Structure 1
Amino acid sequence: MTVLADSPPAGFADDRHQSARPSPPPHDQLRHVAQFAGSAPVVLCAVLATPPLTSGVRTRRQVELVAELLGCDVVMIANLCDAASQDLRGMRAVAAEAAPWMRARSSLQEALAASTMVLAGWGVAKPSGLAAQHQRQQLAWLSTAIEGAGHSTAWCVGGQPRHPSRWHQYVSDRHGRTHGGSSAERLREVLVAVPVRDVTRA
């Protein structure tokens, strides 16, 4: 599994546009379902909130796990906002200006152009203040960008754009949302393909 952040591998965008994009797999058939077109890799674009202040290893591992369930070879991570933060409180402080949101668009467009599937994982909770206004505008832009890249749906955990840091809690035994088992088995039960316009609704 190859994980990239913010920029696509050379040639991926051209390869993806030369072949038909497969339809998202049915909810009950998520195990290695992607069809390869020649030698073109199957690429998951994971859209998160902001770059991490730490290494981000846990988040990447969670995203890789979903990519494996979807049969993807490469993960490309892009963020709604190009200003590192640890949580919503921090996001409110660093994302109050429009500049980091505008900077993020080029990386998002590149990742979407190279993608076979999209994972929405920027979080269910919203920032406050000016950051909330910028996020609404960014999600409206993102909806058009995802559809422009040829996607009508985006994958989510539990049907909402939950951040990977929240997945473990969402599938824990106390909520009874899955039949238990490994992390992969639990995530397989709650992965849902949602219409782009629904998942990006602010």
Structure 2
Amino acid sequence: MGDDATERSTERNLDGTTTEYFDVPKAEETYRELVRALFEDHWDAIDFGPCLQGAVFELRFASKPRVGYLDGYFTIGPDEPGAWHFHLCVGAHKGTKARPTPPELARWRQCARAAFYRDLDASGRPRSWGLRLWNGRNEQMMTVFFPNPWLNAERTKPVKEPDWSRLALWMDLRARFAGVPPEPAPVDDARRPQMCG
């Protein structure tokens, strides 16, 4: 899906950390395929939710979620009646005949950017891997957290020695959707990064 023209950017954060971004080429079909890959194929390996300064949601499914798509929106949630769910707009959104969505509002709601990211601590050591989605006004819609070499398999506790194989999913999906080839694991740096800023 990805190509060699993948946009890469670096953002310096106020706490001295750095975030590297690897953009997914903007295309509705690509975004739909990416969301389906995450929530239909890899739902048990990810945590997800809004990640804003002052509020981080780390949600996960206990069983395979139900994934539906209508009028540009995914509806994703547990496969049980009346359960919580969320809506995520990644495609063209028109509304109904009786209540059409104004084009400006449709552009605002729709995902306008998706990028894989890697967070580095103030010393430049990688500490977190994920994917972020932004809407047409550059407001963050969702962050997806991938398995982390510095956390146990259950993603609940830090480990002393990193398990770099936990980056396989992030590397595979980043290669598939952003066109960035997998990188070798850091061999000489088993120093634990500062995990939270």
- The TM-score with structure 1 as length reference comes to 0.23
Greater helix percent: which structure? 1
Larger CA Rg, structure 1 vs 2: 2
- The TM-score with structure 2 as length reference comes to 0.23
